[in-house]
Amino acid sequence: MALHNELGQKGEKNAIRFLKNKGYQVLATNWRYRKAEVDIIAKTPEAIVFVEVRTRSYDYFGQPEETVDSRKQKLLKKAAEAYMERYDLFDYEGRFDIVAIIQAEGTRKIYHLEDAFFFYAD
């Protein structure tokens, strides 16, 4: 497996642990809809939260969360709508979060951006 894939998998595991420690209930991981994949789908008392995890070993060229571009956001929105419809979850608010992780030489920084972008905006 390529090193960046291993780093990504470790990041997702760390994000899951981080979210669970904050009281989130993880409903699904790596949920796919057509061309989109949602890294983590979790639930809080108020919302169904669709989480994109971005892990980098450094931040020389910008922060990990900056790589979630408008194309990725559109894919995530379509996947989120499909998930909400499939499981009849429209009684809940939908929300997109980003968990950004910088993991380098034995150190780890985790940033949780709640409401990173909007559910119904284009």
CATH of the domain at 99: 3.40.1350.10
Domain assignment present for 10:
yes
Query: Which structural domain, as residue segments, surrounds residue 25?
Result: 3-117
Domain assignment present for 26:
yes
Domain assignment present for 60:
yes
pTM of whole model > 0.85? yes
β-pair type (25-33, 107-117):
unpaired
Query: Based on the structure, what is the number of domains in the chain?
Result: 1
At 82 the pLDDT is 95
In our burial notation (b when 16+ CB lie closer than 10 A, e otherwise), range 67-94 reads: ebeeeebebbbebbbbbbeeeebeeeeb
pLDDT lower than 50: segments of the chain: 121
- For 34-67, the pLDDT digits (tens) are 999 999 999 999 899 999 998 876 555 656 566 6
DSSP symbol at 119: S
At 56 the pLDDT is 75
Domain assignment present for 122:
no
Q: How far is CA 55 from the centre of its chain?
A: 11
